[in-house]
Structure formats: C-alpha cells, structure tokens
Amino acid sequence: MPHYYTLGKIPHKRHTQFRRPDGGLYSEQLFSTEGFSDDYSLLYHCHPPTQIIKTEPQEDVSPQIAEEKMLKHRCFEGFNVKPGGEFLQSRIPVLVNSDCHIVLAAPTSGTGDYFYKNTDGDEMIFVHEGSGTVHTQYGDLPFGYGDYIVLPRGTIYQIEFNDDKNRLFIVESFTPLRYPKRYMSKYGQLMEHAPYCERDIRKPQDLKTYDEHGDFLIKAKKRGVLYKLHYGTHPFDVVGWDGCCYPYIFSIHDFEPITGRVHQPPPVHQTFETNAFVVCSFVPRLYDYHPNAIPAPYNHSNIDSDEVIYYVDGDFMSRKNVTRGMITLHPAGIPHGPHPGAVEKSIGAKETKELAVMVDTFRPLMLTKQALEIENGNYTMSWAE
C-alpha cells in the first residue's frame, strides 16, 4: 500500500548476485502479500533468514468469548485496564470476529530481548499515551501521541517505550489494511481530494545491520497460538531493502477533515480500509456552515455493520459522560444517535476539538470475558429522556 521506498544497500538488479565484503552472497528475501500478486519488498540479509535452532512449547492466546450474539448498545471503560506487564502480556482483546481483533493495552515495558511477529494479520497500533520506537528489519519508527503504527503481517519487530505510562488501541486485521481505494489514482498515488498525502506517511529510518550469531527468540502468533522460535542469527541483519510493503506511521493529527454546509456522513472521516472493516479518524474541525445546520449527527441505523468508537480526547457534542479511552459498540440492527438534548445544544456551535478512532466491521463482533470486566452497564439505557 505505501509508495515505493528503499533504504540501505541493494543490488542494481533484483534476483542477481549481491556479495558481502568477504565475497559471500547476501541472502535475498521476498516479503510479499497475496502470494506473488500484490505489493512486496525485497530484503537483503547477511545470513539466510531461515535458521531455526530451537523451539519451545506453544501457548494458546486466542480470545475467550463471553457473548457471541447480542443486540444492545455497549460501553467499555478502556482506562480501567490496569497498567502492567510487557508489550505482549498487556494486550487485552475486547471485541473480536473472524476478520479482526480489537485490543487494548497499557504496557509498562516493551518487548525486551525478544522479537515479535504476527503472522495472522496486519497490526494497526494507535498510540493514545506514551512514546518510543518500533525497531524492525526495515529500520526504526519513532512514535508518539496520536500515531497510527501500521505493521504488515509477518513483520518482525521490537517495541521500546520511553517510560512506563502507555495506552494503546490495537486492531489486528486478518485481511490487508490499505488506503481507501477512492483516495487512490489508478497508478497508486494518493489523490488531491484525499485527506492526507504521501508527505504525511512516515517511513522507516536509520537502518541498523546486526551481523550476529547467537540465540534470538522470536515469538510468532498464528491462529491464536504463540510459538517461540529460536533463530541462530539476528533477524535485523538486513543491509538494504526496497519495495512497497513495509511498516509505516501516520499521525491522526495529519488527517485533514472534510467539512460541508450540512452534516457530512462518516465516510468523509475514513482513514484505512480492508475487505471486512473500515477505520475512521474524528479530528478537530469546523462545524457545518449552512445557516440552519444541525452539527450533531443525525440518528442512524447500522444495517450492515457494527460501529465501534474509541474516544481519545476532547469534548464530544453528541453524547454525555464521555471518558478518555471509552469504547462504545453500536451493533448492526438497532438505531443510535445523539443523547437527549445534544441536538439543540449543538445548534450554533462553530467547531469541535474531539479526537476519536472509529472501526466499522461488516460482520458482527463478539465480546470477550475481559470486555465484560470493564463494561459500563449504564450505557445501554442512556438515551432515555
């Protein structure tokens, strides 16, 4: 999905001899999506990236489902997830289906001396609180508040935080996560009407090559099972790479809102898409400017999708008692809209400072046991006057 990029040293032609200073060959690796039919990158390793020297017993990390079917509005207090643990231990699945897992995390430390690889899905990590660096085979990605960190499936990475105060909203996607097609030209460039452009995409930097032998633990997740694989050479032994499949960062603060004379529908906020769900960014923006405009969103029914909103910061004109880190779930089949009094209150307002992430899934979501532990039970009836 990102545009072509290269970092480090690569040969003039792909699939040709590329030799180390000692005369040996670098090991070429194709990192591709959808077989050999879509975006890919070519990485050049000091050693073959295949040398497993030991394995450990596997661990089941699949979500524990509490409710498979339901038809009522739900709310979860995300900041009630207690901080603690390293990056993987801290990940709490909240809402899941066969297309994606929506996860909360409040890690107090990064991955430490192990490496992580999600072989099931692309990862979108939204940074609500905290900062640090994601280290990958492709280079480093420094991150901070408001960043979407996008990691294609199979990316080997380590995450390092600058301190122990971190809050993450994570979506694991089992279909490729991409820019919306309507933002793209037929040649792959982000078009003028898109709410962001290539300049806003932060690519890996500062490629470091670790030409090391030893025992390197990679924790790899596949189909809900965590495998512990020990490799004989450092996974970040890449001297160079090029292509269009690599991790990157896009900041929600670089999303340019689309506004109009009357209230605009949610697709104007779309940021990413898959075959199974979309991601939208609600950012500070001017309200509608028709003289009789009603800035509050109209009541609407989710006929084809479950709507999840993760509230980040700011004031939300459409509902009361919003807390930072709150997650609301409005399932398909039942209408929802502004809380009582919110419509009249919104008339005449000029702008909003809200910041939120929305995920609309085309298949129903299921609740995990951990979700029930942080549920706000009063939310379902909160529209009653």
Question: In the chain, how many domains are there?
Answer: 2
Residues 321 and 205 in one domain: no
Question: Would you say residue 313 lies in a domain?
Answer: yes
> Considering only CA atoms, which of 175, 193, 196 is closest in space to residue 185?
193
Out of 213, 230, 253, 263, which one is annotated catalytic? 263
Residues 343 and 229 in one domain: no
DSSP result, 72-101: S-EEEEGGGSPP-S-TTTT-EEEEE-SSEE
Q: Is the pLDDT score of 59 beyond 70?
A: yes
pTM: 0.96
Q: Which two tokens stand for residue 112?
A: 């430490």
Residue tagged 């690569």 (tokens) = 10
Which whole number is the average pLDDT over 305-309? 94
Of 251, 281, 302, the residue at which a domain comes to its end is 251
Residues 174 and 222 in one domain: yes
Residues 205 and 57 in one domain: yes
Residues 141 and 290 in one domain: no
Q: Is the pLDDT score of 305 beyond 90?
A: yes
State the distance between the two ends of the chain, measured CA to CA, in whole angstroms. Answer: 47
Q: Is the pLDDT score of 321 beyond 90?
A: no
Of 228, 251, 274, the residue at which a domain comes to its end is 251
Residue tagged 């994601």 (tokens) = 134
Q: What is the CATH number of the domain that holds 347?
A: 2.60.120.10
Question: Would you say residue 42 lies in a domain?
Answer: no
Residues 232 and 258 in one domain: no
Query: Which residues form the domain of 345?
Result: 253-373
> Tell me, what's the pLDDT at 1?
62
- List, as residue ranges, the binding site for homogentisate: 336
Phi, psi angles (nearest 5°) of residue 65 = -80, 130
The span from the CA of 78 to the CA of 147, in Å, is 18
Residues 226 and 85 in one domain: yes
C-alpha distances in Å from residue 111, one per residue of 72, 204, 382: 37, 19, 40
Residues 203 and 229 in one domain: yes
Q: Which two tokens stand for residue 319?
A: 């509902």
Least confident piece of the model among 112-126, 242-256, 301-315: 301-315
Residues 130 and 233 in one domain: yes
Question: Would you say residue 287 lies in a domain?
Answer: yes
- List, as residue ranges, the binding site for Fe cation: 300, 306, 336
**Range list of H helices, 235-282:** none
Question: Would you say residue 44 lies in a domain?
Answer: no
Of 251, 273, 305, the residue at which a domain comes to its end is 251
Question: Would you say residue 364 lies in a domain?
Answer: yes
> Tell me, what's the pLDDT at 35?
78
Least confident piece of the model among 89-93, 218-222, 358-362, 381-385: 381-385
Residues 233 and 260 in one domain: no
Q: Which residues of 150-182 are buried (b: 16+ CB within 10 A; e: fewer)?
A: bbbbbbbbbbbbeeeebbbbbbbbbbbbbbbee
The residue with greater pLDDT, 193 or 36, is: 193
The span from the CA of 110 to the CA of 158, in Å, is 7
Residues 278 and 184 in one domain: no
Tell me the pLDDT of the chain averaged across its residues. Answer: 93
Within the chain, what is the greatest distance between any pair of CA atoms? 78
Task: Quick: pLDDT tens for 108-159.
Answer: 999 999 999 999 999 999 999 999 999 999 999 999 999 999 999 999 999 9
Active-site residue flag, 230 = no
Task: Quick: pLDDT tens for 345-380.
Answer: 788 888 888 999 999 999 999 999 999 999 998 888
Confidence bin at 61 (pLDDT 50/70/90): very high
Question: Would you say residue 130 lies in a domain?
Answer: yes
- Per the DSSP assignment, residues forming a β-bridge with 169 are 104, 126
Question: Would you say residue 125 lies in a domain?
Answer: yes
Question: Would you say residue 183 lies in a domain?
Answer: yes
Residues 368 and 266 in one domain: yes
